[in-house]
Chains A and B, each alone.
Chain A
């Protein structure tokens, strides 16, 4: 045990929490609507681009840039749901194909508009913190991690404590009965799709200062989010947190002690193990 070990562990936890946040939005949409949003990663990078444009090109402080970026993605999410997802209700395969096509369209849109170069909004904070006298860790990563924890807590409170949360839990458990109790399920779908996209957007703005956005950066994020989704169990919010932490920590240790070239393979190894041992994911398919 040396200080490097703790640095890798810290890095794994920080990345794990940020991964968890990026998977949370997909999981929420799967849990409520049974729609798998393949365009999740692209919405994530769009939020990164929006925060980049607002803060670098227009010089707006990141205190404002962040909420504007998240809100924009929320509205884009609602527009996507109303125009593309709504007509596919009742056939999961159609929505899968449509969001897959959407992700390709959005990638090329980003390539056309923003160009192939990495773009990065300025760091929120500079410097590094001495962690328990063991090693120094970048402040931006710590702040991004705290922001991610904050957003995850807000999402959990929204679902467990608010009126809107009660209706979306009811809809995710039994859509037909919820509608018979007077809940407008299409409105709930619209808002929860928007919410899921907004969480992707939140992950995007939190992560953009650490990992600059490129038109294809969303692919990797989507991939990790889907691995986490399967490991944790489709639609399970706690599964996202645990799955995210597992992937983050294993990637960090694997890259450090085995080879950083194999970084991406560790997630897939865990995925295969989980599918062997618990095919429905660690938390199974649970209601919200």
Chain B
């Protein structure tokens, strides 16, 4: 297929404009974070930070409770993801490998649960947590986040378990493994990329969660980073440099994880790890 010069140029030109449009807000966040305040509040925007400063990061990191909040966010996110991975692994194995009555119904249940409107259920959750005297605690956050990501974890893992050829498991069993041993020694190692990809999305959900922590934890010592970040700008009175530095710190782990882990997880699948 021959295309005219115009026909070859416009897709590339459009793509370039789109790239700038999509990447600019992310770029602007980092750029602002590194610019001295004089360059941030200037009549004409300084497009590229020439005069790099780390002052805003220092300010964000030294904000009250910053490290407590980091610790809270990490604790809650990692525990929630691990908890849901363990629970999901059992369920995913059953749904992918075993045949039983009601299997289809279970899958539909998890699909439905995956769409659960948590944002709208916060009042009821608040009442339940309060009645159990668990407000201002990380425990309810952790377990609710675990259940929030559980359905997706199960459904995704089911696909990865199903992708491991049955023959591998069977030959292990012919060699004298029990079904459990076959699972632990054969399937589990092959699931590594799947576990990574799955935990990535769980990680993002839990790390970002906002409405629930907003209503449950009023004590700053028990809050998480999204809540802190949403109030940062107000608390620091339009200090955009510090606000963008705080945003960058919050976004960076996710951006890195997303860009590297997703590609790795997907290519792990295609590169023959599961082609047996």
Q: Report whether chain A binds chain B.
A: no
State the B residues within 8 Å of A (CB): none
State the A residues within 8 Å of B (CB): none
